[in-house]
Chain A
Amino acid sequence: MNWLTLLMVLPLIGSVALAVLPKENEKLVKQVALASTLVVMGATIAMAVGFQRDNIELQFVEKYAWIPSFGINYALGVDGLALVLILMSTILAPVVVLAGWNESQGGRWSVKTFYILILVLETMMIGVFAATDVFLFYVIFEAMLIPVYFLIGGYGSGERSAAAVKFLIYSLFGGLMMLASIIALYVMSGAQGGHTFDLAALSQLQMSSMTQNLLFLGFFIAFAIKAPLWPLHTWLPDAAESATPGTSVLLLGVLDKVGTFGMIRYCLTLFPDASKTFTPVILVLAVISIIYGAILAIGQRDLKRLIAFTSISHFGFITLGIFAMTSQGYSGAALYMFNHGFSTAALFLVGGWMISRRGSSTISDFGGLQRITPVMAWMFFLAGMSSLALPGMSSFVSEFLVLVGTFTRYPVHAVIATFGIVLAALYILIPVQKALHGPTTPGNENLSDLNLREKIAIAPVMAIIIVLGFYPAPLLNVINPAATHVIAQLGFSDPAPTSGGK
Chain B
Amino acid sequence: MMTSTSLVYLIALPLAGSAILLLAGRRSDKWGHLLATALSASSFFVGLYQLSLMVGRTNSDRPVTQKLFEWISVGTFKIDASLMLDQLSICFVLLITGVGTLIHIYSISYMSHDPDRRRFFAFLNLFIAAMLLLVLGDSYLNLYVGWEGVGLASYLLIGFWNQKPAYATASKKAFVMNRIGDMGLSFAIMIAFATMGTVSFSGVKEAAGHTSTAALTGIGIMLLVAATGKSAQFPLQAWLGDAMAGPTPVSALIHAATMVTAGVYLITRSNFIFDAAPTAQLLVVIVGAITLMFGALIGTAKDDIKKALAASTMSQIGYMILGAGLGPVGYAFAIMHLLTHGFFKAGMFLGAGSVMHGMNDEVNMRKYGALRKFMPITFATFGLGYLAILGVPPFAGFYSKDMIIETAFNSGGAKGIILGCVTLLGAGITAFYMTRVMILTFTGKSRWDEEAHPHESPWLMWLPMAILAIGSVTSGYLLSHGDTLVNWLSPLFVNHGERAELLSPVVVSGLALAMVAIGVAIAFVKYSRNEVAAVAPTDVSIFTTIARQDLLQDRFNEAVFMQPGQALTAVLVKTDEAVIDGAVRGVGRIALGSGSALRGIQTGFVRSYAALILIGAVALIAAIWVVTQ
Contacts and interface: CB of A to CB of B under 8 A. Distances in A.
Interface string A413-445: 011001101100110011011001111100000
B72 A401 contact: yes
A193 interface: no
A298 B194 contact: no
Interface in A270-327: 292, 295-296, 298-300, 326-327
A501 interface: yes
A292 B569 CA distance: 9
A403 B186 contact: yes
A414 B222 CA distance: 15
A497 B194 contact: yes
Interface stretch (A29-37, A57-65, A385-393): A385-393
B460 interface: no
Interface in B112-138: none
A501 B190 contact: no
A471 B569 contact: no
B16 interface: no
Given A299-B572, A407-B194, A476-B72, A501 B187 contact: no
B201 interface: no
B139 to A, nearest CB: 12
A495 interface: yes
B625 interface: no
A403 B210 contact: no
Nearest to A298: B569
Interface in B175-206: 175-176, 179-180, 182-183, 186-187, 189-191, 193-198, 203, 206
A494 B75 contact: yes
Contacts of A326: 75
B598 interface: no
B176 A438 contact: no
Nearest to B151: A390
A499 B573 contact: no
Interface string A389-405: 01110001100110111
Interface in B328-360: none
A480 interface: yes
A421 B175 contact: no
B573 A296 contact: yes
Contacts of A421: 179, 182-183, 186
A422 B194 contact: no
Contacts of B186: 400, 403, 418, 421
B203 A502 contact: yes
A438 B581 CA distance: 35
A437 B176 contact: no
Contacts of B568: 295
Determine the interface band of chain B, counting residues with CB < 8 A from chain A. Answer: 35 or more
Contacts of A233: 580
A491 interface: no
A437 B159 contact: yes
Interface in A64-84: none
A296 B215 contact: no
Chain A CB count within 10 A is highest, among B81, B207, B573, for B573
Given A385-B152, A433-B168, A404 B203 contact: no
B207 A499 contact: yes
B73 A437 contact: no
Contacts of B581: 234
B144 interface: yes
A473 B73 CA distance: 8
Interface string B158-170: 0100111100110
B558 interface: no
B195 A499 contact: yes
B133 to A, nearest CB: 9
B438 to A, nearest CB: 36
A429 B211 contact: no
A426 B179 CA distance: 10
A189 interface: no
Contact of A499 (B141, B163, B190, B210): B210
A332 B193 CA distance: 15
Contacts of A411: 190, 194
A327 B75 contact: yes
Contacts of B145: 391-392, 396
Nearest to B161: A437
B541 interface: no
Instruction: Tell me if A's interface is mostly helix, strand, loop or mixed.
Output: helix
Contacts of B449: none
Interface in B553-594: 568-570, 572-573, 576, 580-581, 584, 588
A21 B176 CA distance: 53
Interface in B396-417: none
B196 A231 contact: no
A269 interface: no
Determine the interface band of chain A, counting residues with CB < 8 A from chain B. Answer: 35 or more
Given A480-B74, A501-B196, A471 B69 contact: yes
B77 interface: yes
Contacts of A470: 71, 81
B569 A418 contact: no
A496 B197 contact: yes
A493 B176 CA distance: 36
B72 A433 contact: no
A330 B193 CA distance: 17
Interface in B422-453: none
Contacts of B196: 497, 499, 501-502
A231 B163 contact: no
Given A295-B572, A328-B75, A438 B183 contact: no
A233 B182 CA distance: 29
A438 B165 contact: yes
A331 B568 CA distance: 34
A362 interface: no
A370 B161 CA distance: 10
A498 interface: yes
Contacts of B77: 328, 401, 404-405
A432 B165 CA distance: 12
B272 to A, nearest CB: 13
A433 B176 CA distance: 13
A501 B206 contact: yes
B195 A501 contact: yes
A484 B168 CA distance: 46
Contact of A371 (B69, B163, B194): B163
B455 interface: no
A299 B569 contact: yes
A141 B164 CA distance: 50
A483 interface: yes
Contacts of A331: 74-75
B196 to A, nearest CB: 4
A401 B72 CA distance: 9
A422 B183 contact: yes
A317 to B, nearest CB: 13
Interface string B195-230: 111100001001100111001000000000000000
A403 B193 CA distance: 11
Given A234-B580, A400-B141, A501-B211, A332 B74 contact: yes
A391 B149 contact: yes
A437 B75 contact: no
Contact of B176 (A170, A385, A426): A426
B191 to A, nearest CB: 8
B573 A497 contact: no
Interface of A: 169-170, 231, 233-235, 292, 295-296, 298-300, 326-328, 331-332, 368, 370-371, 385, 390-392, 396-397, 400-401, 403-405, 407-408, 411, 414-415, 418-419, 421-422, 425-426, 429-430, 432-433, 436-440, 470-473, 476, 480, 483-484, 494-502
Given A235-B584, A299-B572, A494-B76, 4 more contacts: A233-B580, A296-B572, A422-B176, A498-B194
8 contacts: A371-B163, A403-B190, A411-B190, A438-B162, A440-B163, A476-B73, A497-B196, A501-B197
Top 7 nearest A-B pairs (CB, nearest first) are A497-B197, A501-B207, A437-B168, A327-B75, A391-B145, A437-B162, A299-B573
